[in-house]
Structure 1
Amino acid sequence: MFKALVITKPETGYRCDLTELDEAQLPASGDVTVRVAYSTLNYKDGLAITGKSPVVRSFPMVPGIDFAGSVTQSDHPKWKVGDRVLLNGFGVGETHWGGLAQMARVKGDWLVALPEMLSERDAMAVGTAGYTAMLCVMALQRHWLEAGVAPGSGEVLVTGANGGVGSVAISLLAGLGHTVVASTGRPQEADYLKSLGAATVIDRSELSAPGKPLQKERWIGVVDSVGSHTLANACASTRYGGAVAACGLAQGMDLPASVAPFILRGVTLYGVDSVMAPMARREAAWETLAKTLNRTRLAAITTEIGLAEAIASASDILAGRVRGRLVVDVNC
């Protein structure tokens, strides 16, 4: 028997409960069984647990879009018992049972070998949010390399700065020598954001309202996890030849923007998907994270909770009351 969060949709309504399951109940479609050490609570997990958005596609469902642990059984040629692995995305926690449980059975093709320099807890302190931030930074780096843009040659904007993606993006970009401007709805967190490497902190209200289609040039790059008017304004104020990496929709799925920045300033908008990203890109992102991420800053953005606390914390993350990353010790 093992503990798990389970989402059901009975006639009385949508609910998520902490319960016990038998290993025989794990999905038959997986070929690798993993004893989970740590998972995380991401924005998408918050939506799944609360039912605020139709993230979950089948019931019952164990939520949790990522996890780290050790292989206990494998019918996959790549993995053997004792291998340390992690998983992000691939519909886990949405269409396939996920990581907010002490056991998981998944397809071996979805797993990434946990880099030697990372513990299971550190990997989940990074989690899908940090891995997504790394994919965004990698997209900007490829663009800057081609354009000949050097670190320190201009400001880089990070929106949703207090969230998981934003916090890790600030640390990564500052570590690479860039001047980071953090946009947040919690200006009282300015000292925290500066401790991660932000040079300047601005209020999100400067970007969140409808704006002009073309604005004063400011950013050489943007990491945006907010969407809607914030993303539109970020594009409108990106410098000639700059780039924007978009990965989230906290403000909304819409993009009330103009084509002006793209055809008059040559701005490039990169859509960053972490769920179905190719394995080679995933492995490169995790290897880079293991080598470059500042562990002190990682600790500063991380709060650990137990599995039972994840249900209540889901509402907090949707309400913007969570700073940085929530690591879930599934065995606590």
Structure 2
Amino acid sequence: MGTFKAWVIDKGETGQSLAFRDFDDADLMDGDVTVRVTHSTLNYKDGLALTGTSPVVRRFPMIPGIDFSGVVETSDHPEYKPGDAVVLTGWGVGETHLGAYAQRARVKGDWLVPLPEGLSPEQAMAIGTAGYTAMLSRMALDAHGLTPAHGPAIVTGASGGVGSVAV
């Protein structure tokens, strides 16, 4: 494989730095699926990681980016084969596990979800982690039997990702 381009956060004596540079496949973390990343998002947590204003990143060097869509390049996981379109949200990616702001990511296949039929990689990332979280929140309300007939709901943080999708 070789090298690929990635945004990389490092931490030195003077603090955190961010650079777009070559990253070596040999330095990717453990995982049984390697994905060619085609799309990602910029979440609030990603902004904190990139600017170093909050301790989001837990190890260095770190490739930030908490979610992606892409195409499987190699796989030792029984559910995925090269060419499969996949989505990943969460799992510590971009915090403790090298993330999405790169041309390639190696992750555990159990963290992946097949790209839903009828949804493009761009659409999956337009929804992103925020939309996925909003959907899970809605499903939790449904599971508890809460409906509009129960009265108004309060949505906080509606200026950002989850809130704006939920509203």
**Residue number among 11, 14, 19 corresponding to 2:13 in the alignment:** 11
Higher helix share: 1
Percentage of pairs with the same residue: 65
| Whole-angstrom distance in 2 between the partners of 1:42 and 1:150 | 29
Shift of 1:153: 4.9
- Give the whole-Å Cα distance in 1 for the aligned partners of 2:118 and 2:154: 29
The residue type equivalent to 2:53 in the other structure is K
Q: Deviations over 1:8-44 (max 9, x none)?
A: 00122211111122333322x1110000010111111
Higher RCO structure (Cα 8 Å, ≥6 apart): 2
Aligned residues: 165
Structure 1 consecutive aligned stretches of length 4 or more whose deviation exceeds 4 Å? none
For the residue of structure 1 that corresponds to 2:82, the secondary structure is coil
Counterpart check, 1:160 vs 2:157: yes
Structure 2 counterpart of 1:139: 140
- Whole-Å Cα distance in 2 between the matches of residues 96 and 118 of structure 1? 26
**Per-residue deviation, 1:152:** 4.9
Gaps of 5+ in 1: 171-332
Three-state SS of the structure 1 residue aligned to 2:53 is coil
1:199-257 deviations in Å (ceiling 9; x for gaps): xxxxxxxxxxxxxxxxxxxxxxxxxxxxxxxxxxxxxxxxxxxxxxxxxxxxxxxxxxx
Inter-partner Cα distance in structure 1 for 2:157 and 2:28? 36
Residues 150, 9 of structure 1: alpha-carbon distance in 2 compared, 3 angstrom cutoff: closer
Correspondence for 1:56: 57
**For residue 126 of structure 2, what is the aligned residue in structure 1?**
125
Relative to the length of structure 2, the TM-score reads 0.93
Question: What are the superposed Cα offsets for residues 143-173 of structure 1, whole Å, 9 maximum, x if unpaired?
Answer: 1x2xxx5435522221111211111101xxx
Q: Amino acid of the residue matched to residue 73 of structure 1?
A: T
Tell me the CA shift for residue 138 of structure 1.
1.0
1:1-332 correspondence runs (5 A): 1-27=3-29, 29-143=30-144, 145=145, 149-170=146-167
> For 1:155, what is the secondary structure of its paired residue?
coil
TM-score (norm. length: structure 1): 0.48
Code of the aligned partner of 2:81: K
